[in-house]
Amino acid sequence: MKILIEKDYDLASAQAASLIAEEIRKNPSFVAALPTGGTPLGTYRELTRQHQEEGLSFKGVTAFNIDEYEGMSPDDPNGYYYFLHDNLYRHVDIAPENTHVEDVRAADIQEACLRYEEAIRQAGGLDMAFLGIGNDGHIGFNEPGEGIQSITHLTDLTEETIQANARFFSSIDEVPRRAVTVGLGTIMKAKKLILLATGENKAEIMAALLGSSAITTRLPASVLWLHSDVTVIMDEAAASLIKKPAAPAYMAAAGV
């Protein structure tokens, strides 16, 4: 796991954007799973700037929403497809047919989840999953206690997640109680992972994640320790409670 700590939100966002842009430049048919939330906004702004000012092209890029609320229409401003459209897709030259979201209004959600996995496979698999992290350690909407091998599935949101996301709605009662998310297994199959965590309110969970390399479904992001190509980017605020870099037990035993 590569850990990068930048001074502030803008620099952390620029770092994430430059790693993503580098991959797109290397591979114009880049396939990515993309997150929503407050954290990636700066990254999407910087990618937009690179498109407008530096010719970064998304023409061949395929994007998959990491998650979406159950029942949400793609043109609902509270929805995650709308979020990605509004904050990234409409500013760059990505082909609309290459922007995918889980079919959260399907009569048969289970079948729709399998179709989403198949669409990822048909696109050639994920070159990258770009991730945020919830205060309870969720990635996508993989909440604590869910299976480590999961594929795209419908999930119940925890009370903590509902409360954290209420800021995007006019009242907490409007926050959907369920969502469809790519699974931890789907994320782990991506060739590259970037986790971006910024702000003081992520300091505790990042200290828990990076303070030990123990893997537990109680902290879903801890599965990232098993992936061979993960970059964690934080600003100083999110990194402020990390005591020391985690070392695997065998290294500690050997005094490394």
CA distance 25 to 30: 9
CA distance 171 to 181: 23
CA distance 84 to 65: 8
Nearer to ligand GLP, 77 or 255 (CB): 77
Nearer to ligand GLP, 57 or 240 (CB): 240
Least separation in angstroms between CB 250 and ligand GLP: 32
Sheet with 31-34, edge to edge strand ranges? 2-6, 230-235, 192-197, 128-131, 31-34, 62-65, 99-100
Least separation in angstroms between CB 9 and ligand GLP: 11
CA distance 120 to 206: 29
Which 19-78 residues touch ligand GLP, going by CB under 6 A?
35-39, 66-67
Least separation in angstroms between CB 69 and ligand GLP: 9
Binding mask 79-98 for ligand GLP (x = CB under 6 A): --------------------
* Annotated catalytic residue, options 68, 136, 146, 235: 136
- Answer yes or no: 136 catalytic: yes
- Answer yes or no: 143 catalytic: yes
Please report how the helices 41-54 and 80-87 are oriented relative to each other, as an axis angle in degrees rounded to 10: 40
- Token pair, residue 187, equals 């994320």
Least separation in angstroms between CB 61 and ligand GLP: 19
CB atoms near residue 87 (< 10 Å): 18
Using DSSP, state whether 92 is helix, strand or coil: coil
**CA-wise closest residue to 69 among 189, 167, 185, 175:** 175
- Answer yes or no: 127 catalytic: no
Nearer to ligand GLP, 48 or 161 (CB): 161
Pairing of strands 67-69, 62-65: unpaired
Nearer to ligand GLP, 4 or 57 (CB): 4
CA distance 41 to 35: 10
Which residue's CB atom is positioned nearest to ligand GLP?
A: 132
Least separation in angstroms between CB 83 and ligand GLP: 10
Which of 65, 165, 186, 222 is in the footprint of ligand GLP by CB under 6 A?
A: 165
- Answer yes or no: 86 catalytic: no
Q: Does 161 bind ligand GLP (CB under 6 A)?
A: yes
Binding mask 120-139 for ligand GLP (x = CB under 6 A): ------------xxx-----
Residues 155, 120, 61, 231, CA torsion sign = positive
Catalytic residues: 67, 136, 138, 143
For ligand GLP, the binding residues (CB under 6 A) are 35-39, 66-67, 132-134, 140-141, 161, 165
